[in-house]
Structure 1
Amino acid sequence: MITKVTCALIEQYGRVLITQRSETMPQAMLWEFPGGKVEDGETEEACLIREIKEELNLSITPKKRLTPVVQRYGDKTIELIPYLCQYNGGTIKLAEHRSYHWVVPQDLANYDWCPADVPIMQEFVALAGEQFSS
């Protein structure tokens, strides 16, 4: 069975928000785009809005769906569904994560990422590059 998980690429001032998993979470200490599991009957967008509010105390609007990634972690398989999101407000309060950074796209490759987030990070960097070159 595949678990659907959404993640938010929250952009502000040319930077994107990334979060570091805590010591007690699976994939401990690795970096990811924040998000969470889609609950039964919930849309991907509603899941993102809820999860980002619960985990980070931020208000966002999902804008554009990027390419989902299917990743196996041991006996679990997830489909990680990324969205470019608009930051609407709020002050970050970490509920689950150890740390967060606002990062310019060209520096994202310098972080130690969860495997499922790597292709999403690469797609985002490519999209950001297109924005700057056009």
Structure 2
Amino acid sequence: MLQVTCAIIEHEGRVLITQRSESMPDPLLWEFPGGKIEPGETEEECLVREIKEELNLYVQPLRHLTSVLHQTQTKTIQLIPFLCSLRGGDIQLLEHRAFNWVLPEDLRTYDWCLPDLPVVEEYLQQWHRI
């Protein structure tokens, strides 16, 4: 099983989402940014590292949301989401094609990677009652 963290980064009433590049699996779909847990790394350490490496942002994980198991043809992915606050940095797209700071009520209008869909729904139901 592949364990992957993702960050729901809230800032000034909006949430950061990123669009996968043309060269990534699931190209051009939207996702919450994150990445694979390395051996010996905690979920939170992974999340902080991945967001710094991919976006040049510093985040503080605040709360764990429900993990999502997603089966592809070749592997099982466990997506481990965290609600996070933005601590600093200026966005630099080092892997993704685009980013957007989105109002929570607009999250459902994007074309999401399948594993992120339950995360979007839980986030909206738990924190925004939309």
TM-score by length of 2: 0.97
Sequence identity percentage: 57
Structure 2: how far apart are the matches of 1:121 and 1:129?
Answer: 11
Structure 2: how far apart are the matches of 1:73 and 1:99?
Answer: 25
TM-aligned CA deviation for residue 74 of structure 1: 1.9
> Residue 105 of structure 1 contacts residue 128 of structure 1 at CA under 8 Å; is this kept in 2?
no
2:20 alignment counterpart: 21
* 1:79-90 map, 5 Å: 79-90=78-89
1:91 aligns with 2:90: yes
Structure 1: how far apart are the matches of 2:101 and 2:44?
Answer: 22
Structure 2: how far apart are the matches of 1:127 and 1:101?
Answer: 22
- The number of aligned residues is 130
TM-aligned CA deviation for residue 3 of structure 1: 0.6
Partner AA of 1:31 in structure 2: W
Structure 1: how far apart are the matches of 2:106 and 2:72?
Answer: 26
CA RMSD in angstroms, aligned pairs only: 1.0
Q: Any stretches of 5+ residues in structure 1 without a counterpart?
A: none
1:12 aligns with 2:38: no
TM-score by length of 1: 0.94
2:116 alignment counterpart: 117
Q: Any stretches of 5+ residues in structure 2 without a counterpart?
A: none
Instruction: List structure 1 segments (4+ residues) > 3 angstroms apart after TM superposition.
Output: none
TM-aligned CA deviation for residue 127 of structure 1: 2.1
